[in-house]
Structure 1
Amino acid sequence: MKNHIVSVGSEFPEFKKLAVVSLDKGNEFYEISSDDHRQAGKWLVMFWWPKDFTFVCPTEIAEFNKKFDDFEDRDTMLVGASTDSEFVHLAWRKNHDDLRGLKFPMLADTSKSLADELGILEANEKVAYRVTYIVDPQGIVRWVAVNDLSVGRNVNEVLRVLDALQTDELCPCNWTKGEATLAA
């Protein structure tokens, strides 16, 4: 197991994993890879949660889903991920009112290989911490936020940072889209 988290400036690891993309019989699963966002020339936001069928996780997933169009408007591929299997993801989506209509894939890292390579596995239970990655279209990690297992993240902050990174300019503290950037 890795001891360090893949961080800013690093290349995001290559992966090819099954994801739940639909509740329609026969179309539930789709393989996604690290090349998908690069080939499309898009940014990637991948957010991890510890376990399906828990309490904090669906609040985050539902909030990302509410903001899905905001990510789309920013040419950003949104992917949710955990170490649960695609079958557990599918059962959870079918079972939870807030998850049935998800517009983004739920990646299944059943082997825990991607979470391990990212260095985001909690030591005892070997589940992923609540980690959010923003990856540019070239596959370079531009932002990482890590929350402990018990604390949900702020989706608006993810969007704010994505906006700032996409300006490719200097953005002061608390900067929001539409405000002036700094001149060097």
Structure 2
Amino acid sequence: MKNVTLSLGSKFPEFKKKAVVSIEKGKEFYDLTYEEIRNAGKWMVMFWWPKDFTFVCPTEIAEFNKAYQEFADRDAVLVGASTDSEFVHAAWRRDHEDLRNLQFPMLADTSKSLAEELGILEAEEKIAYRATFVVDPQGIVRWVSLYDLSVGRNVKEVLRVLDALQTDELCPCNWQKGEATLTA
């Protein structure tokens, strides 16, 4: 596999992938496209986890779900993703109390093509690193964070960065929404 790390200022790649959107029988799966998200004119926050049925991953997914309305209030579409199949995602959602009522899709990149294009595949197992991408309404990657497989991310930091990016101004270190920005 090629290693193409997508970076700041890059166009986010097009995709069409199966996603789990419900645990209701017959309504579990949906074909999600990036075109659909882009056409909505919203920001996108896509976060990746390594494997379903693991230990750190559900803590992050549940925390993103708790903050779902905060992302929606910022005009951001939240998408979770891993290289597991939609069937594994659905089983995990049914099995794990904290994942049953997710408000965002769980994208299944079984071909690993999107993770590969994003440059976030771990070398040995070919699973996704804990990666987060913030993409603006024009489809430009504005923020990327990558974490080691064993370390969970901070959802409040993702929201803080989204707030800062949406000001379109200079934001100093540790800036929080509502604080003054800098003038050049």
TM-score normalised by the chain length of structure 2: 0.99
Q: What corresponds to 1:114 in structure 2?
A: 114
Q: Distance in 2 between matches of 1:36 and 1:27?
A: 19
Q: What corresponds to 1:98 in structure 2?
A: 98
Q: Which runs of 4+ in 1 moved over 4 A?
A: none
Compute the displacement of 1:178 (Å). Answer: 0.2
Q: What corresponds to 1:125 in structure 2?
A: 125
Q: Distance in 2 between matches of 1:177 and 1:183?
A: 16
Q: What corresponds to 2:144 in structure 1?
A: 144
Compute the displacement of 1:146 (Å). Answer: 0.2
Which stretch has the larger CA shift, 36-45 or 60-69? 36-45
Q: What corresponds to 2:52 in structure 1?
A: 52
Compute the displacement of 1:3 (Å). Answer: 2.6
CA RMSD between the two structures: 0.7
Identity %: 77
Per-residue CA shift, 1:68-109, capped at 9, x if unaligned? 000000000000000000000000000000000000000000
Q: Contact between 2:65 and 2:104, CA under 8 Å: does it hold in 1?
A: yes
SS in 2 for 1:146: strand
1:1-184 equivalent positions in 2, closer than 5 A? 1-184=1-184
Q: Unpaired runs of 5+ in structure 2? A: none
Q: Distance in 2 between matches of 1:173 and 1:25?
A: 47
SS in 2 for 1:65: helix
Compute the displacement of 1:36 (Å). Answer: 1.8
Compute the displacement of 1:4 (Å). Answer: 4.1
Compute the displacement of 1:38 (Å). Answer: 1.4
SS in 2 for 1:115: helix
Q: Distance in 1 between matches of 2:24 and 2:82?
A: 21
Q: Unpaired runs of 5+ in structure 1? A: none
Q: How many residues align?
A: 184
TM-score normalised by the chain length of structure 1: 0.99
